[in-house]
């Protein structure tokens, strides 16, 4: 699961309602720093490796990555931790989930991409893409 997010920016003085401005995602305002869980810059607390890694920016993937690995119990616990640390928050602009599926009965691979985009006004756009690959 990949997240793209924007940097926090202070609003110009002429905007009196909010002190923090939120804009749409662009190359100029994409957040690229690494954080501790909870989006803090520094922490002395220890967290599981997969949780800590999900708050680290990955330049190769251009975002923050959480990898679904382990038992169903571990996944549930990790997703609860991500929720508790607000991995998805007001600065999140895109969540993308990619997976590969294989159906051995018909020897079919399917590559699935689920993408949700959040704009600065609160609109949500969902897209899905399914790419079947038949090797036989």
Among 102, 2, 90, residue whose Cα is nearest residue 39: 90
pLDDT tops 60 at residue 15: no
Percent of the chain with pLDDT over 90: 63
pLDDT band at 96 (very low <50, low <70, confident <90, very high): very high
Q: What is the mean pLDDT of residues 27-39?
A: 88
Q: State the pTM of this model.
A: 0.80
Q: What is the mean pLDDT of residues 96-115?
A: 95
Among 75, 30, 32, residue whose Cα is nearest residue 50: 75
pLDDT tops 70 at residue 16: no
């Amino acid at each position: 699961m990949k997240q793209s997010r924007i940097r926090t920016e202070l609003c110009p003085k002429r905007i009196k309602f909010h002190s923090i401005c939120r804009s749409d995602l662009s190359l100029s305002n994409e957040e690229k720093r690494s954080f501790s869980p909870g989006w803090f810059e520094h922490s002395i607390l220890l967290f599981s490796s997969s949780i800590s890694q999900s708050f680290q920016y990955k330049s190769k993937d251009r975002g923050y990555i959480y990898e679904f690995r382990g038992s169903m119990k571990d996944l549930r616990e990790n997703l609860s931790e991500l929720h508790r640390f607000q991995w998805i928050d007001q600065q999140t602009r895109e969540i993308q989930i990619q997976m590969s599926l294989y159906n051995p009965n018909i020897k079919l691979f399917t590559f699935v991409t689920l993408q949700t985009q959040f704009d600065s006004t609160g609109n949500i756009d969902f897209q899905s893409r399914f790419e079947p690959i038949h090797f036989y």
